[in-house]
Structures are given as C-alpha cells and as structure tokens.
C-alpha cells in the first residue's frame, strides 16, 4: 500500500447508480423500468465507443440525450417523460455505502478523485447533489482530451496533474472494460463487482475484486 498515492473512481455505475433515474419513475414506466434503464445505459456506452472510433465527439450529456431518445422509442415510453428522466439523471443517487466510505478515505493521506466520461458540469452537479463536494481533490473529465474511455489519453489525465506513476494509483470501476482500460494503462485497477458478474477477457485481471466500496477499506 505504501506505493499508492491516489485513489481514483469511475463515476457512473461505480459511485452513482445509473438505474436510479428510471427507478424513481417506475410507477409511470411500469415493470419494464429496469430493462429500459439497462438498455439506456448500454446504448449510452455504445455511443461513446462508436463516437470515439468515428472521431465524432459529442459531450456526455448529448450522448445521454441521444441514447435516451432511442431507448424511449424501443420501450414505447412517452416522450413527455424525457425531461423528467434527464433531470433525474443529473442527480443520480450514490450506492448506499459510498458516502460513508469516501468520508473515511478522506482521513487518509491520499488524493481522491473521479475520472469519468461525464462532462465537468455533470460531475459537479452529481457531487454537489450527493453532498460530496469536500471529499474529492479533483473531478477529471474526458472533455480535457475529447475522447471517451478506454482510450489511454483519458487515463493519462490524472498522471499529468499529480506527476505520479500509473502504478501509484488505485483505480476503481464497476465496468470491466474500464478496469481493463485503466489496468492496461498501468493503474492498479480494482473491480467493484456489485452484481456477481463475470470479468471480460481484455488482457487484464484486476488487482482486487470487491463487492462494494466499503471493502476497499480492508485493502488500503
């Protein structure tokens, strides 16, 4: 642990529950809310990867809107709900253990940061709405490099700021492709496997696998 100087978190799906926007509307959406939420998320990610490959960058909020528009059509959800869902997405809830764990980590002599596909405005609103403003030293956005994860340029952003080596960073994500992206770049990547998923075959095995952020306290 002596080598680790920074703990960096993915935002969406790791700290913040991406399904919480649709869940808050489940009475209007009905039983299909979870399938809809998962489809929205998958489409959103696919659009980030495709736009990176095509070199047709749009910021994450535009991608979120575009993917929601398609998802609502696929699940036959009234367009009247679009504004409400987008507003809720700006204020996603954290997972239950996140706030307390982050506050405990803050007491350790480590840099704490987010590294996310989200735009700076989105990240600031998420952090503010969950009362985490004082926890993080930095909110790093891919908008600095205008390409989405898992491009190496993204994982270089904290290195440029902190002037440390990649292996001096613990990087946590619930997304296996993000864990692999950070790990292949050189981070000590930790997989937050909340749902007992199977890790992808992408030339990297996580340094640690945890079920929630609280278990990180046993590692550090």
DSSP letter, residue 25: T
H/E stretch holding 168: none
Domain boundaries of the chain, sorted by first residue? 6-17+92-218, 20-89
Q: What is the pLDDT of residues 67-80, one digit of tens each?
A: 999 999 999 999 99
From the list 10, 121, 138, 178, the catalytic residue is 10
Looking at residue 109, what is its pLDDT? 85
Q: pTM of the entire structure?
A: 0.94
Looking at residue 101, what is its pLDDT? 96
CATH code for residues 20-89: 1.10.150.240
DSSP letter, residue 83: H
Q: What is the pLDDT of residues 83-110, one digit of tens each?
A: 999 999 999 999 999 999 999 999 998 9
Q: What is the mean pLDDT of residues 173-198?
A: 97
**What percent of the chain has pLDDT above 70?**
99
Q: What is the pLDDT of residues 115-153, one digit of tens each?
A: 999 999 999 999 999 999 999 999 999 999 999 999 999
Find all residues with CB under 8 Å of 171, minimum gap 6, and list them: 8, 9, 10, 115, 155, 179, 182, 183, 187, 188, 189, 190
Q: What is the pLDDT of residues 193-219, one digit of tens each?
A: 999 999 999 999 999 999 999 999 999
Residue from 160, 184, 57, 107 nearest 171 by CA: 184
**Domain 6-17+92-218 = CATH 3.40.50.1000:** yes
Phi-psi region of 203 (alpha: psi -120 to 50; beta: other; left: phi over 0): left
Both structure tokens of 87: 């507003």
H/E stretch holding 75: none
Find all residues with CB under 8 Å of 142, minimum gap 6, and list them: 60, 116, 117, 148, 149, 154, 157
The question of whether 200 is a catalytic residue gets the answer: no
């Amino acid at each position: 642990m002596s080598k680790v100087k920074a703990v960096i978190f993915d935002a969406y799906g790791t700290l913040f529950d991406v399904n919480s926007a649709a869940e808050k509307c489940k009475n209007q959406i009905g039983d299909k809310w979870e399938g809809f939420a998962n489809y929205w998320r998958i489409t959103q990610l696919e659009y980030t990867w495709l736009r990176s490959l095509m070199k047709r960058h749009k910021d994450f909020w535009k991608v979120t809107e575009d993917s929601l528009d398609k998802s609502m059509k696929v699940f036959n959800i009234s367009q009247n709900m679009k504004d409400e869902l987008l507003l809720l997405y700006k204020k996603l809830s954290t997972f239950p253990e996140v706030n307390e764990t982050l506050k405990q980590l803050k007491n350790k002599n480590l840099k704490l940061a987010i590294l996310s596909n989200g735009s700076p405005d989105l990240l600031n609103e998420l952090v503010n709405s969950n009362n985490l403003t004082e926890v993080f030293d930095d909110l790093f956005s891919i908008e600095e490099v205008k390409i989405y994860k898992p491009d190496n340029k993204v994982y270089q952003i904290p290195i440029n700021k902190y002037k440390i080596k990649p292996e001096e960073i613990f990087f946590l994500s619930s997304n296996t492709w993000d864990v692999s992206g950070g790990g292949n770049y050189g981070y000590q990547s930790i997989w937050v496997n909340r749902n007992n998923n199977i890790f992808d075959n992408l030339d990297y095995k996580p340094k640690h696998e945890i079920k929630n952020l609280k278990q990180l306290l046993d590692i550090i």
